Amino acid sequence: MINILKNNNELSTNIIYFLIIALPITLVSGPFLSDLSISIITIIFLYISYKKKLIFYYKNKYSKFFGIFFLILLFTSFLSTDPFISFKKTIFFFRFWIFALAVWYIFNIKKEELCKYLIISFTFIFIILIIDGYYQFIFKENILGWKVYGSRVSSLFKDELILGSYLSRLLPIYFALLIYTNFEKKISAYILFFLIFVGIETLTFLSGERVAFFYINASTLMLILTMKNYKLFRFCTVITSIFLIVLLINIYPKSTDRIINKTISQLGFEQKKIDTKNNEKDTSTTSNELKQKKYIFSLEHQNHYISSFRMFKDNMITGIGPRMFRYTCGMKKYNIWEGCSTHPHNTYVQLLTETGLIGFIFGLFVFLTIFVSILKHFILKFYRKKILFNDFQLALISAIMISLWPFVPTGGLFNNWLNIIYFFPAGMYLSSMYGSKNNF
């Protein structure tokens, strides 16, 4: 590969360009192709950076900030109970930031083409998922014959129930690209994208992924409150989606089982009667009591959090080490239930447990910085008629914000598939911040 790069710098740039365009599709294929793409992009961009002396991409405050976080990961891995296992996951974590820088770089030099072809790529895969997802919901198997899981639609993700996560996390990025191209100027394009948004929002509900359904609604609400020009479009798509969801609920009542009924049950708000015996003066009486114990998301999640807190108390400053939860949660002094997991199902709990206070404070600082910026934008918009961010940037920030939101169950912090989605909009956002303001 290095020989090819030496022979043609333009070829190396085009490889990154095409891999980024293909990313929405490779993410559906599974973790292998998407992670391979990121690795190739990382190697090529590091070479281009050296060849073209792209120092600025590494000397800005964002790269320095990530560098600090990366050093924290390496430091906590070194101090973990098994540094070899921990280092295996953290030592190459930097490639996700290099990927974001590569997106920034390509977006700067090929922004018009990149937006155009990314929209085509997103539109292609979204339409396929919408058609296949609805087909699977109605006929209980998709076009490839893969069965539906209970009432949960998975489409081309087969037995990995992440359809909703994929759609809800990538939709704001798709919206940002559409904003950049002023899609509302063509009525045919407007109608097509309107139908895609409604299809995605409804399909996210049908996927049964409660966090994904929260994400898609949270990002929509944020954009409606903060955007200048496109809030009517999102408001109309949401209203149409709500109408369609209500219609589907009436036709297919079981579609609400996981989103509504199971959520109520897992939180502990479902009232259950139990029999208790009271022995008084050698007589037995039976009375009915209401069992109403409440949980954080669910009993399983709460148990994970309790175990995590016990680990944190023993390793408050540097944590147990990145990726070590899976190897530690089975220990008798931490385990409070029969079972374990690869991660504690919350990004900030995982940071606290595996990287201690130094990692947790860093992650919380990132979230609060973005949250305060959005809040400041909102206040300025309504009270002073000024804005901090344009609509393109707001759509990208909404994609980042839902991934950073602390009060929901999440995937693992070191999940490669998720990190690609986390860092993808970051690269586009950096391009908008440092690129020509006239272009956004």
Ranges of each domain in the chain? 2-54+93-251+389-439, 258-294
Q: Are 251 and 137 in contact (CB under 8 A)?
A: no
Alpha carbon 219 to chain centroid distance?
A: 11
Start-to-end Cα distance in the chain: 35
Name every residue whose Cβ is closer than 8 Å to that of residue 48 and which is 6 or more positions away in sequence. Answer: 5, 9, 12, 13, 16, 54, 105
CB 143 within 8 A of CB 153: no
pLDDT at 9: 60
Coil, helix or strand for 168? helix
- Between CA 38 and CA 16 the distance in angstroms is 9
pLDDT at 390 over 70: yes
Confidence of residue 6 (pLDDT cuts 50, 70, 90): very low
Residue 359 and residue 74: Cα distance in Å, rounded? 11
Average pLDDT, the chain: 86
Percent over 90 (pLDDT), the chain: 62
Q: Which residues contact 193 (CB under 8 A, 6 or more apart)?
A: 178, 183
Q: How far apart are CA 354 and CA 342, in angstroms?
A: 12
Q: Collect all residues with Cβ–Cβ distance below 8 Å to 55 and sequence separation of at least 6.
A: none
Distance between CA 261 and CA 22 in Å, rounded?
38
Confidence of residue 183 (pLDDT cuts 50, 70, 90): confident
To the nearest 10°, report the CA torsion of 131, 132, 138, 140: 180
The number of angstroms, rounded, from the C-alpha of 118 to the middle of its chain's C-alpha atoms is 19
pLDDT at 292: 55
Q: What are phi and psi of 242, to 5 degrees?
A: -60, -45
User: What average pLDDT does the segment 181-202 reach?
Assistant: 91
pLDDT band at 147 (very low <50, low <70, confident <90, very high): confident
Which one, of 347, 215, 367, 392, lies nearest residue 375 by Cα? 367
Cα 182 from Cα 147, distance rounded (Å): 39
pLDDT band at 257; cut points 50, 70, 90: low
- E-strand stretches of 186-306: 272-280, 283-291
Q: Residue 330 corresponds to which tokens in the numbers above?
A: 């089975």
Q: How many CB atoms lie within 10 A of CB 309?
A: 14
Q: Can you give the pLDDT at residue 259?
A: 59
- Close Cβ partners of 277 (under 8 Å, ≥ 6 residues apart): 284, 285, 286
Note the pLDDT of residue 338. Answer: 63
Pick 5 or 199 by higher pLDDT.
Answer: 199
List the structure tokens of 18: 């095409």
For the stretch 272-330, pLDDT in tens is 544 444 444 444 434 444 455 676 667 777 888 888 999 999 999 999 999 999 888 88
Q: Residue 46 pLDDT more than 80?
A: yes
- By residue count, the chain amounts to 440
Q: What is the dihedral of CA 395, 400, 403, 406, to 10 degrees?
A: -110
Which DSSP letter does residue 307 get?
H
pLDDT in tens, 258-274: 556 655 555 555 555 44
Measure the CA–CA gap between 264 and 281, rounded to whole angstroms. 40
pTM: 0.89
